[in-house]
Amino acid sequence: MRAGPRAPERRAALLQAAYRLFTRQGYHGTSMRQIARQAGVAPATIYHYFADKRALFAAVYEHYHPYRAVAQWLVEAAREADMHRCLQRLLRHLHAALDQQPEFLNLVFIEWVEFQGRHARARWEAFLPQWQAALAQCQASPALQAQAPALLWGLIGVFIMSYLPGRLALPHALPPERLLRAMLQAAASGDAIP
């Protein structure tokens, strides 16, 4: 008799199956039975690892979110002496990450629609201090450093406005460079939302 996969392997298989199904079928369109089938385990096995479907989604979101890589990219981007180049570099990394894992956007939409950003807020709170430290390293002016949260939201906005139109093949998308420059000018002049 062949032994089944060990606990860490079963958990990883459940996360992978749930990710695949959530991003293809949505949260409500995916049953625990489907996840178990795709992972090759009995449905009851899921509950040895996750309290319920919400807990499984939270674990999937945490596992597949690129925040660990973003923290490393911040350190790398902060080596740039110029704030503009620092943010450009970070934006390029974000584009490349989603190009490698485009289905993650589906998970983000589920997070915001189904969970009102509950998991994203926790990620934001953990990430903000790293962002503020990177701004200081990029030799951002005191005005820009004071706008750290608004700048991060601005960068997220630039990312969304430059990535999604290209991904969705929408006409008249603004180039990321132009959006980034406008955001930095607004923040430097104090026009960004605090």
List, for residues 59-113, the tens digit of each pLDDT value: 999 898 877 777 777 777 767 666 677 777 777 777 787 788 888 888 888 988 9
Of 166, 175, 188, the residue nearest 84 (C-alpha)? 188
User: pTM for the whole thing?
Assistant: 0.72
Question: What's the chain's length in residues?
Answer: 194
Average pLDDT score over the chain:
78
7-63, CATH topology level: Arc Repressor Mutant, subunit A (1.10.10)
Map out the domains of the chain as residue ranges: 7-63, 65-188
